[in-house]
Chains A and B, each alone.
Chain A
Amino acid sequence: MRSTKEKGGLIRALSQRKKRPSIPGLFRPCPVAVLLAAFLLFGPAVFSATLDIPFALGRSARSFALFGVDLALPDATANPGALAFFPQWSVFSTYARPFGVVHVWAISFGGPGLSADAVLLDAGGIGPDLHYRVWAFQGAGALRLGPWGLGGRARFLRPTDPEGSLGLALDAGIFWQGSVYAGLVWEGVYAQFPGEPWPPSFSLALAWPLEFSGFSAIFGAAFLGFPALPTWAFAAEARVGPLSLRGGLHGASLNLGGGLAFTPFALDWVFTLHPDLPLSFRVSFALEWP
């Protein structure tokens, strides 16, 4: 539920990037091998993506606009490995109304190497005495080893309606910061949910940051949710001074958003357009320091 914010966030991350050597050759074969191994090990898994959804819906407006590609950005919510590169301490609050059918509130606190998040997804009254309400909590930690960031995350899923339950998932993430950014996340290294399979999934993303005088941009692509529900995602972001514009394509959803930063505050928003479903919106407010 957090994202880097320029000047304090992204620009700082970009400046750090320039000091690091680029070793793409070491990282590129790894995810392919991992994915192949996973497919051989787990085969086509049960479609369990909904157990991950409350966490995904808790992302900040910026992270959601760049959905998928955010795995390869120094944004701790999507990739625990990237948390090692997160430049500053911050508190985020997010409200979202996905497709006009549920309310999502999220708050997160974090800084370099550590983060904690809480998400509430509430669909309100759906029918007579039928509610759908889920809490999601996660805590993450990361280590930075040169251009690598290695992170782990514990996620707790706490549905309260229509039935109470408690699930746990442990994730691992790797982030590499070179001439491009790369992120690999293995969700569900260990996962348990009463009465439900919660099989693992793998996601991989690449982002290409560019910087010009007074202008910066990021382009990226991601392959998500393998093997349960594989999808592609593409996103781009442009920043000029305190203003930012961003957009992304994730499955059939088109995300369009922007941001406004007045240190130490930042406001981000995103609208999601879907060919069949109603318009979604999401807004985040952040306080960052130092």
Chain B
Amino acid sequence: MRLLLLLCALAFLAFAGPEKLDPMLRAFFLSPPDLQPLALSTLGAETLDRPIRVFVELADGVTDFPGLRTRVGNLATASLTLPEIYSLSERPDVLRIRAARPVEPLLDYSVPEVGAPALWYGSPSTTGQGVLLGFVDSGVDILHPAFRLDRDGDGFLEGSRILFYWDQTGGSGWFPDFWGDEPGEGRYGRVYSQRELEGYIRAGFSPAPDTLGHGTHVAGIAAGGKAAGFPGVAPGADLVVVKTNFYEDGVVDGIKFVFEAAKFLGKPAVVNLSLGGHSGPHDGKGLFERMVSALVEGPGRVIVAAAGNEGAKKIHVGGEIRSQTTWTIVPGGASLVARFWYELPARFSITVTSPLGETLTVFPGQARGLTTASGILWLDNTGTSLGATQEVFLTLTGAASGTAWRITFEPVLPGRVDGWIESPSMGYFLEGDGQMTIAEPGNAERVITVGAYVTKISWNSQAGFFRAEGYELYALAPFSSRGPTRDGRLKPEIAAPGAWIASARSRDAQVSPWYALPDGLNMMLAGTSMSAPHVAGACALLLSLRSGLSWSEILAALRAGARADSLVGSAPNPSWGFGKLDLPRTWAALQPPSSVQKPGLFLLANPVSFSAHFRYQIPENAHWAELRIYDLLGRLVWRETLSLGSETVRWDLLSLSGFRVSSGLYLALVVTDQGVSDPVRVVVNR
């Protein structure tokens, strides 16, 4: 009896460390020796001495530990071998360790659609000057004209708009002074300064090419210059680019790098994350999302994330489980990872049935593996130390694509369960839906998450006329991930154009001629990856006008200014959030109450040749309003009474006597009995 008690005590002590690990890491320590190579492989570490990327939650007062890379509050990223992870997990001041998982990049007309020109040509006007736009993505083609400058006016774009370019994926070398000067700022890869980039531009060579083309396209949407034909939302912003390794910890490092650069330069910054994954609890409480959220601290710091492209991928199942419930997993590749989340006190016994009827049952607190004729299965139902949140972890290796694996939840104590397959490329649930498919880090509390709608469905490509099937103009893109979060918060917050979008094309990326535009400089892509940079650029414009805005103020304005038309329906809702991004309304929502009574006028395109289109806002208590156009001598050229119930007006470039006005600069403004708008400069270019 005493021997039995001793063994139990030893077993408990041995388990104290692994209990702090997430099931993916724990799989290695708990699985039988024959399954350990598989567990290693799932982690991306073929050998024990190969470092693994992890998140670590620390107790208060811990300042450092071996392998630390990035530190934000009591959260950290690290690169550790499995033995190091095990020994770290035994430290009492280490609360939790979680493997960082890969994230995926989420793959003319859209910029006017969101109303960006209203701020370009408004009064005050901005194109994003004084703001850093950070892109943590596949890199940017530094040679593309959208990201270059002609400083001396000789027609050659010798300058780079990219101030810092961190290539996390390779090389080693220079880092700016602001990075690595304190613990928790990992120096890996290398950073190129603006001067170095301009040297490479002169040489016609890109040292960190964007071979995927995703980051170049995304950056072009948010910040591309007009030189490439399609100006982005904030073409006057400066860029900081992080060519990421597409691991969650690398993303965190990249965000921190952008914000450190902004601090160094004394500028506000917006980070665009057109990436995401489904490896966490989808409630913003996972270590990755908590760390991303924690980076949004103080005014002038904003993170915008793509909602995800899993709206139609059936990677999610969920429901209240009060009796035996079965879902069917259909693998799509050689290996599959699925996670199920629920809240204590619910508990479940779980049975997985292979296509040939072999079963593996795991009771609460257990983790077991099974080698079947159809594939190798590992199921961990031991729970986690994420407070009341419990995780069920399932891996399937070697399963044939298209086979059906049934997972049955038998409630010990009933409760709600939600499950996600880590990536749609791994497979889907037969009973799956598109709800709660916001990709992480889009569920993070302080991240502005963006869905996508359709603004273009056909174009002339290098291969000829192309029409994208399955899309309805101005409707929600079918792929756009839906909310809410698992804890019931509204996500996405807003929708922006995401299908199909013309933007910069990287010269180092392979592109189908159907997506490549005839100019050779641009290409078409669709995804919430494309909608997020519209909002990131919008945030940059707002910060350019008011650098002290906080993320919450910007989010409140985006919500208040969002447009809910008949396609959006009743807003807010978990598909659109508060509606479509509308920059003029968003800017109006940011005005202090004292100026709410002032009319607003926004020009939607400039210069104009045949007609000028305006949007206007009139104070609620105004009794009349007029659009007035003056020349630079203050002479009245045109006047038109405005409808108090409308929002748009057109000037056909005529004078009061009905004749065409000539080329030149004119001033437009709205005059009401409650005040006069700021003048808007209209360039008439016949």
A-side residues, CB < 8 A to B, are 44-51, 53, 56-57, 98-99, 101-102, 121, 123, 125-130, 132, 159, 162-163, 193, 195-198, 228-229, 231, 250-253, 272, 274, 276-278, 280
Contact = CB atoms under 8 A, between A and B. Distances in A.
Closest 9 CB pairs of A and B: A50-B664, A47-B655, A127-B120, A129-B226, A128-B235, A253-B634, A128-B231, A48-B662, A46-B659
Nearest to B628: A276
B632 A99 contact: yes
A218 to B, nearest CB: 21
A252 B636 contact: yes
A236 B669 CA distance: 30
A196 B655 contact: no
B660 interface: yes
B683 to A, nearest CB: 5
Interface in B655-686: 655, 657, 659-667, 669, 671, 676, 679, 681, 683-686
Contacts of B630: 99, 274, 276-277
Contact of B636 (A121, A159, A251): A251
Contacts of B121: 126-127, 130
B606 A126 contact: yes
Contacts of A280: 634
A193 to B, nearest CB: 8
25 contacts: A45-B659, A46-B659, A46-B660, A47-B660, A48-B662, A49-B631, A49-B635, A50-B684, A51-B662, A51-B664, A53-B631, A53-B664, A57-B632, A99-B632, A125-B127, A126-B121, A130-B683, A195-B686, A196-B686, A228-B659, A229-B635, A252-B635, A272-B634, A277-B634, A277-B669
Interface residues of B, number: 43
Contacts of A98: 632-634
A125 B149 CA distance: 14
Report which residue of B631, B633, B637, B659 has the largest number of chain A beta carbons within 10 angstroms of its beta carbon. B633
Contacts of B635: 49, 229, 231, 251-252
A102 B127 CA distance: 18
B346 interface: no
Contacts of A99: 630, 632, 634, 667, 679
B412 interface: no
Interface in B223-237: 225-227, 231, 235-236
Nearest to A272: B634
Contact of B633 (A44, A162, A253, A276): A253
A272 B632 CA distance: 12
A193 B663 CA distance: 10
Contacts of A196: 662-663, 686
A229 B664 CA distance: 16
Nearest to B128: A128
Nearest to A274: B634
Nearest to B653: A47
Contact of A127 (B117, B227, B632, B661): B117
A130 B657 CA distance: 29
A123 B662 contact: no
Contacts of A251: 633-636
A47 B633 contact: no
B661 A50 contact: yes
B660 A126 contact: no
Interface string B604-634: 0011000000000000000000001011111
Point out which of A57, A126, A252 has the most chain B C-beta atoms below 10 A from its C-beta. A126
